[in-house]
């Protein structure tokens, strides 16, 4: 539970369906001096979650996860930028914190399932668990859950995914629960509503070393002020004088150089992913067609997905894609079903 409308309604729906529900909240992060400003687990949101639990007449516990969160999620975030990637820490949080650490605690409390307020659906067909996009496509959060293995899905419940957002709000009103939701989860919860650059400045300043900006042919065109300050596809703020607009194409963390190029150079037909997770638990033997999202907010693009050696997958798009960013996840869908996903190299 977070105190927000989605998890509150999830709890209410499960209680309605006859489950014995226990509410749990994680204390994830607090930067000393900024305890009240992280988006997720402030004392206020905790009090809110507690009120919701009291209204629903379910027990409520807070679990301290600060150390493991810092060591896995925040560290992953910092390491990703150090490698010149744009990491998505929510993926690690879901896998390591929510669906390992928290799930272990839930099971220790003798729970049979753990439920969240994610907009996503689970379906079990002949013993195989499937992850499906939410009925309300505009709210679908299946992207961040592509990391789940069968054994975790077996313990999962996602009551919200079957409803459109408007109905969730109506249910919340019916129960007298808070109806405001958090701002849509693109800003990272531990960034306290500020820019990630200030966070890096405070926590890993050594990462922000100036270096050269190069074209693909090696021609130097300027200086950058720290690779982590730039995102793939970025045009503004490069400080370059050029007759044609230049875009960030990539980063080389070894040489600490930023690679820029024209719009034509920006798109690519192909990407490779590592650390692939297949929801079914097994890599498909043959290449297959899928709709692929390269970012949480990206529109799906048609592609051919080819499983390769080890944990890697090649994705070849029908049309060139801009902003393919190392560190983000590429997630493969067939219709509503999420097949799998991996981290873009």
Partner 1 sequence: MVYLDYSATTPVDLRVVNAMTPYFSASFGNPSSVHRYGQVAEAAVDSARETVASILNCRPDEIIFTSCGSESDNLAIRGAAYAMREKTGAKWILTSRAEHPAVTKTLLHLEKYEGFLVEWLDVDEYGMTTPEAVSKAICDNTAVVSVMYANNEIGTINPIKEIAEICRANNILFHSDAVQAAAYLPLDVQALGVDMMSLGAHKFYGPKGVGALYVRKGTPLVSHLTGGGQEFSLRAGTQNVPYIVGFAEALQLTNEERDQRVTHVRPLRDQIIGTVLEAIPDSRLTGHMDSRLPHHASFAFKDVDGNLLLTLLDAAGFACSSGSACKTGNPEPSEVMNAIGLSRDWGLGSLRVTLGVQTTPADVNSFLHILPELVERARKLK
Among 83, 105, 155, 316, indicate the residue that binds partner 1 (CB under 8 A). 105
- CB-nearer residue toward partner 1: 104 or 282: 104
Name the minimum Å distance from CB 267 to partner 1: 47
Q: Does 46 bind partner 1 (CB under 8 A)?
A: yes
> 223: part of which helix (H) or strand (E)?
strand 220-224
Name the minimum Å distance from CB 104 to partner 1: 6
Please list the residues that pair with 333 across neighbouring strands.
Answer: 291, 338
Among 59, 193, 237, 335, indicate the residue that binds partner 1 (CB under 8 A). 59
Between residue 61 and residue 90, which ones bind partner 1 under the rule CB under 8 A?
Answer: 61-64, 66
Burial of 309 (0-12, 13-18, 19+ CB in 10 A): exposed
Between residue 274 and residue 333, which ones bind partner 1 under the rule CB under 8 A?
Answer: none
DSSP 259-281: EEE-HHHH-EEEEEEEEEEETTS
- CB-nearer residue toward partner 1: 104 or 194: 104
Name the minimum Å distance from CB 36 to partner 1: 12
Using an 8 Å Cβ cutoff, are 77 and 87 in contact?
A: yes
Among 5, 13, 21, 25, indicate the residue that binds partner 1 (CB under 8 A). 25
DSSP 26-59: EE----TT-TTTSSSS-HHHHHHHHHHHHHHT--
Q: Does 54 bind partner 1 (CB under 8 A)?
A: no
Q: Does 32 bind partner 1 (CB under 8 A)?
A: no
Q: How far apart are CA 35 and CA 29, in angstroms?
A: 8
Q: Does 27 bind partner 1 (CB under 8 A)?
A: yes
Structure-token pair, residue 7:
């998890």
41 has catalytic annotation: no
Alpha-helix runs per DSSP H in 124-241: 150-153, 165-175, 196-203
- CB-nearer residue toward partner 1: 108 or 244: 108
Structure-token pair, residue 121:
């659906």
Q: Does 193 bind partner 1 (CB under 8 A)?
A: no
93 has catalytic annotation: yes
Q: How far apart are CA 13 and CA 21, in angstroms?
A: 10
- CB-nearer residue toward partner 1: 30 or 229: 30
Q: What is the largest CA-CA distance in the chain?
A: 66
Here's the x/- map for partner 1, 167-186, by CB under 8 A: it reads as --------------------
Q: Which residues are catalytic?
A: 93, 189
Residues that bind partner 1 (CB under 8 A): 22, 25-27, 43, 46, 59, 61-64, 66, 104-105, 108-110
């Amino acid at each position: 539970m977070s105190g927000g409308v989605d998890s509150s309604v999830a709890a209410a729906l499960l209680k309605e369906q006859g489950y014995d529900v226990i509410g749990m909240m994680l204390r994830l992060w607090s930067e000393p001096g900024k305890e009240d400003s992280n988006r997720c687990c402030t004392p206020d949101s905790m009090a809110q979650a507690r009120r919701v639990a009291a209204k629903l007449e379910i027990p409520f516990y807070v679990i301290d996860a600060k150390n493991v969160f810092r060591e896995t999620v925040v560290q992953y975030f910092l390491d990703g930028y150090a490698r010149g990637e744009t990491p998505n820490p929510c993926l690690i949080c879901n896998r390591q914190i929510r669906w390992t650490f928290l799930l272990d605690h839930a099971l220790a409390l003798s729970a049979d399932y753990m439920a969240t307020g994610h907009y996503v659906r689970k379906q079990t067909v002949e013993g195989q668990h499937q992850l499906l996009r939410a009925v309300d496509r505009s709210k679908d959060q299946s992207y961040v859950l592509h990391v789940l293995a069968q054994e975790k899905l077996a313990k999962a419940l996602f009551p919200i995914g079957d409803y459109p957002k408007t109905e969730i709000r109506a249910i919340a009103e019916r129960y007298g629960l808070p109806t405001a939701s958090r701002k849509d989860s693109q800003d990272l919860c531990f960034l306290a509503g500020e820019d990630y650059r200030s966070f890096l400045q405070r926590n890993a300043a050594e990462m922000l070393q100036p270096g050269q900006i190069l074209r693909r042919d090696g021609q130097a065109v300027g200086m950058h002020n720290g690779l982590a300050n730039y995102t793939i596809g970025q045009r503004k703020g490069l400080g370059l004088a050029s007759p044609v607009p230049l875009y960030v194409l990539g980063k080389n963390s070894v040489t600490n150089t930023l690679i820029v190029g024209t719009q034509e150079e920006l798109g690519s037909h192909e990407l490779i992913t590592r650390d692939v997770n297949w929801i079914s638990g097994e890599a498909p033997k043959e290449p297959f067609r899928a709709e692929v999202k390269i970012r949480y907010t990206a529109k799906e693009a048609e592609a051919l997905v080819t499983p390769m050696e080890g944990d890697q997958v090649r994705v070849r798009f029908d049309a060139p894609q801009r902003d393919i960013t190392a560190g983000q996840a590429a997630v493969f869908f067939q219709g509503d079903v999420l097949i799998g996903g991996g981290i873009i190299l």
